[in-house]
Amino acid sequence: MARLEILHFPDPRLRRRAEPASSVDDRVRRLIDDMLDTMYDAPGIGLSAPQVNVAKRVVTIDVSKDRNAPLCLVNPEIRSAGGETETEEGCLSVPGVYEMVKRPERVRVHALDRDGRSCEIEAEGLLAVCIQHEIDHLDGRLFVDHLSRLKRQRIRKKAEKALRQA
């Protein structure tokens, strides 16, 4: 397993739409393992393949307190969503920024698991928010896109300044 480099906003590679994995083979499983390593090390509760510069529809998540319940979703698709919740979100690709974001509070998601088996997940609360945040990444969307333009511009300026100083 290996730790991968995480791309930071406003890197244009975060804006690419990721392609579905044609099957869950050893290469995809290695990517999942490396993403889990990277996510736990960061530390974060979710990571998407585009954030580590792989344009594939693969997501890893662990919202458990003890950090021992890894979830991986290949080609996830939201089948239904309901309710509304507002949660403070952050992102490993936008370090140091936490903002309130409104999203549906429940989702039903279809995906393939690590063994390529088709599965359906009903999620609510933090897990539902996290799944939606990570699926956004697969479509080139970041949580700052849910904020006002003014806020997003401020975050962008701050991020560009941090990049110049790095």
Q: Rule CB under 5 A: which of 82-101 touch Ni ion?
A: 91
Indicate the residue whose CB is closest to Ni ion. Answer: 91
Marked catalytic residue, from 89, 99, 105, 134 = 134
Is 124 a known active-site residue?
A: no
Q: Rule CB under 5 A: which of 34-93 touch Ni ion?
A: 91
Beta-strand relationship, 85-91 and 46-48? unpaired
Q: In whole angstroms, how far apart are CA 23 and each of 74, 105, 129, 160? A: 9, 30, 26, 37
Q: Rule CB under 5 A: which of 102-131 touch Ni ion?
A: none
Smallest gap, in angstroms, from Cβ of residue 143 to Ni ion? 6
Count Cα atoms within 13 angstroms, Cβ side, for 54: 20
Site size with Ni ion, rule: CB under 5 A: 1
Alpha-carbon gap, residue 23 to 91, rounded angstroms? 28
What's the per-residue H, E or C state across 32-85?
A: HHHHHHHHHHCCCCEEEHHHHCCCECEEEECCCCCCCCCEEEEEEEEEEEECCE
The residue (of 43 and 116) whose beta carbon lies closer to Ni ion is 43
The residue (of 27 and 67) whose beta carbon lies closer to Ni ion is 67
The residue (of 74 and 130) whose beta carbon lies closer to Ni ion is 130
Looking at residue 30, the DSSP 8-state letter turns out to be H
Smallest gap, in angstroms, from Cβ of residue 61 to Ni ion? 11
Smallest gap, in angstroms, from Cβ of residue 128 to Ni ion? 15
The residue (of 91 and 123) whose beta carbon lies closer to Ni ion is 91
Q: Which residue has the tokens 């300026």?
A: 157
Smallest gap, in angstroms, from Cβ of residue 38 to Ni ion? 12
Residues known to be catalytic: 134
Using CB under 5 A, list all residues that contact Ni ion: 91
